[in-house]
A and B are shown apart, each in its own frame.
Chain A
Amino acid sequence: MLKEKIPTPLAAADDGAWTSAVSTYALGFMVVCTVVYLLTVSAAITIPFVIAVCVWYLLNAIARGLSRVHIGGKSMPRFVCLFVAILFLAGGLWSVIDLISRSAAEVVREAPHYQANLEVMLPKILALMGLSEQVTAQDIREYFNLTFIITALAKTFSGIAGKAMVVTFYTGFLLYEQKFFNRKIVEMIEDRDTENHVRRILRNIDISIQHYVWVKALISVLTGLLVYVFLLQNGVNFSKFWALMAFVLNFIPYVGSLLAVALPSMIALIQFGDLSMFLSVLLGLSVIQVGFGLIVEPRMMGRTLNLSPIMIIFSLAAGWMIWRVPGLFLAVPILVMITITLSQFAHTRPLAVLMTKTGRLEIIDDTSPLPPVAGDGDAPSKPKKKATARKAKKGGKA
């Protein structure tokens, strides 16, 4: 953090360049703080919008996937793809919400009973660990306030459902306007080089985020399935719910995995009242999470995401501060976007390097020529135009 206040290179004072460097860094820092503050203050408005952007991005990604499917040598028209994507996502969301509300109601009903069990068991466990103080018992109770955690999660979901209307509106407008986005960029920037640069950045962001989302989704599905099988075999309650939770929480780095291991283990402990069962569940879930998180995921992510874990933790903290639970899910994608954007300008590149783990900027940099845009002079064929519009626009807002 101190680094920000160090005037650039050591002996740059000759031409007074350090003064403008200091001013720029200081102003940049202030602007960043102001933006964070504004986002925090206006969370009620920004959260639905951000969720809408995510939904819109997912819809486009699914639609794009569908458009690659050829039926009788022809791909489906774009609006059909989009329509199917909407149906697909809505169906998926519906079944997920259905499952959550059913299990959540059950969990909430059981929660006080569990809590009571837990409080009976706590002294035993504490004695086993050699802790006997009142203070510690109190502390742990505060830490693992099950009712609180579960109702907070349930509230988050119901809160999202309550905002569904607003989110739907935003998503609709984004879908409607997306065909103009690329044209807008072209019209906004006069200089051809700058325009290409901006469009390239947007495309790189788009590609990286897509990669991140697909790999994460695949790994989350696998994790969820394994967790489901494992919990079912061990006879832990609500195995479907916990599997879903594992799927969802897997999108939150570190903290999510921790919760996905800790919560079912606690439930197992209370349910069976037996330490060996608790330990086996804990061990099994940990093996699943660590296996996917530390071994499978880095392989699959390849070298595209070389973010420093320390920076990820800081961005998680910032995300939590700004948007609470949605912020946790968006922390990494936003960090990816920021890093890619910073890496594209000579003066901000050092900051992008700072975000990486090894110092190597292994971000996707697709330098292939950009497809032309309508009204740009060099009359492109119509379908090509559309594909471009979709791509660049997606990157812009996700």
Chain B
Amino acid sequence: MTALMDIPAVPTPARRAFSAASAFMLGFLALVLFIYVCKVAKEIMIPFVIAFFLWYLINAVARVLAVPRIWRGKPLPRGARTVLSVMLLSLLIFVVGSLVRDNIDQVVQEAPKFQASFEKMLADGAQRIGVEQVPSFAELVNLAKQHMDIGEVMSGFAALLTNLASRTFVIVVFIGLLLYEQRFFAQKMRRMVRGRNAAAQWHRVFRVIDVKIQRYVGVKAFVSALDSFLTFIILSLFRVDFAVFWGIMAFFLHFIPYAGSFVAISMPVIIALIQFGDLSTTFMVLAVLCTSHAFLGHILDPYLMGNNLNLSPIFIITNLAMWGMIWGVPGMFLAIPILALASITLAQFKTTRPLAVMVSKTGELEKKPKHEEAAA
């Protein structure tokens, strides 16, 4: 004991390396444990995370509502804006919800019919192409059936939406509490940090994070809504069945990069193929949908996001798989918002900045946070 205490407390390089290593390892263990806790406590965590993002969306809309100067050059008061934004969003959700409700039944009912004609087409194609390999084609049809049970896919979506509805109550409670408590957050944070300087620094950091998350949530919601609308217009122009359903699905699928786009394009195209039985129309649908998705995903989205959130596709895919494993389908929808949130937050601290750089695509985290610029 005494021998240990005699060593001067000056950190040597070796000592520093050791403590850094233990910090990283312990941090890693804690992170793994945290993810496990997320899995175990998913009944409460998923509604909370959804509520968190919706709360940001409400605030983002409330901020937009501040733009019109209603009376004597003054915007609406804050409380009124929040109420108005909640009302607008719930009206939107109500309309979308009733549309989904009207459409799901229809989709589920018609799914077996589509499945039947799909199977017939597959069999026809098999006969047309190959005369010799009949057994292997039978296997293929079987395989395709296993992987593309359309009825199951659609009722899976339907189940997801009903599941969402049953969680609505908890989500609404959380949103209400977040809105109620948010006026204390700044004050709370001030009291959490000792020392005026540190408090000011933290305040600035959280301000930056807050603005970025708000922009992220706002832009994503807007682009997804646009995607949903465009999909609906395109599909109804081509008179593809269930245009409303796929339009709404496109909104949700937009939050899943790559895989979501793939589903949002391929499913309507398959429907179109079965419905028209005509390759040229199907290709037209495919081409137009691809164009719209490419425009939204690669031009509009980066433009609006100010390119301040470039996430590495590799990390996006692995993160998607990870949250899919942890929370199932809801996890896949929340994966990228969570990754974005984490990367925005990690980028604000000197010690965690390397991690944020790691998950970025180009390694450039736009411009440096203001407080670091000032310090430089």
Co-assembled chains A and B: yes
Chain A residues engaging chain B, CB cutoff 8 angstroms: 1-2, 4-7, 9-11, 13, 15-16, 18-20, 22-23, 25-27, 29-30, 33, 133, 135-136, 139, 143, 254, 308-310, 313-314, 317-318, 321, 346, 349-350, 353-354, 356-361
Given contacts A133-B105, A139-B162, contact A20 B30 (CB under 8 A): no
Q: Is the CB of A10 within 8 A of B23?
A: no
Residues of B within 8 A of A349 (CB): 192
The answer to whether A314 touches B44, judged by C-beta atoms less than 8 angstroms apart, is yes
Whether, in the assembled complex, B20 has its beta carbon less than 8 Å from a beta carbon of chain A, the answer is yes
Given A4-B30, A10-B350, A354-B192 contact (CB < 8 Å): yes
Q: List 26 A-B contacts (CB under 8 A).
A: A1-B34, A2-B341, A5-B352, A6-B349, A7-B349, A9-B202, A10-B198, A16-B20, A18-B351, A19-B19, A19-B23, A22-B27, A23-B19, A29-B34, A309-B181, A313-B173, A313-B177, A317-B41, A317-B44, A350-B192, A357-B184, A358-B188, A359-B184, A359-B187, A359-B191, A359-B192
Contacts of B325 in A (CB 8 A): none
Q: Are A357 and B181 in contact (CB under 8 A)?
A: yes
Type the 1/0 row for B141-178, where 1 means its CB is closer than 8 Å to any CB of A: 00000000000000000100010001000000110011
Q: Are B29 and A26 in touch, CB under 8 angstroms?
A: yes
Q: Which B residues fall within an 8 A CB radius of A?
A: 11, 15-16, 19-20, 22-24, 26-27, 29-31, 33-34, 37, 40-41, 43-44, 101, 105, 158, 162, 166, 173-174, 177-178, 180-181, 184, 187-194, 198, 201-202, 205, 341-342, 345, 349-352, 371, 375
Please report the C-alpha to C-alpha distance between residue A147 and residue B187 in the assembled complex, in whole angstroms: 47
- Closest partner residue, chain A, to B49 (CB atom): A1
Say whether A19 contacts B22, CB under 8 Å: yes
- With a cutoff of 8 Å between Cβ atoms, the chain A residues found around residue B188 in the complex are 353-354, 356, 358-359
Minimum Cβ distance to chain B for residue A321 (Å): 7
State the 6 A-B residue pairs at the shortest beta-carbon distance, nearest first. Answer: A359-B188, A26-B30, A26-B26, A19-B23, A350-B192, A19-B19
Given the interface pairs A10-B205, A359-B192, the reply to whether A20 lies near B23 with Cβ below 8 Å is yes
Are A133 and B101 in touch, CB under 8 angstroms?
Answer: yes
User: B162 to A22, Cβ gap below 8 A?
Assistant: no
Shortest CB-to-CB span from A34 to chain B, Å, is 9
CB distance from B166 to the nearest CB of A (A): 6
CA–CA, A19 to B43, complex, Å? 33
A358 close to B187 (CB less than 8 A): yes
Q: How far is the CA of A357 from the CA of B158 in the complex (A)?
A: 38
Cα A356 to Cα B184 in complex, Å, equals 10
A321 touches B192 (CB 8 A): no
CB-CB under 8 A from A317, the residues of chain B are: 41, 43-44
State in angstroms the CA–CA spacing of A27 and B25 once bound together.
Answer: 11
A305 to chain B, nearest CB (A): 15
> Which residue of chain B has its CB nearest to the CB of A310?
B177
Bound Cα distance from A254 to B26, whole angstroms: 37
* A contact residues around B181 at 8 Å (CB): 308-310, 357
- Other than the known A10-B198, A19-B16, A313-B44, what 13 A-B pairs have Cβ atoms closer than 8 Å? A10-B371, A11-B350, A11-B375, A13-B350, A23-B26, A26-B29, A27-B30, A136-B162, A254-B173, A318-B41, A354-B192, A359-B187, A359-B188
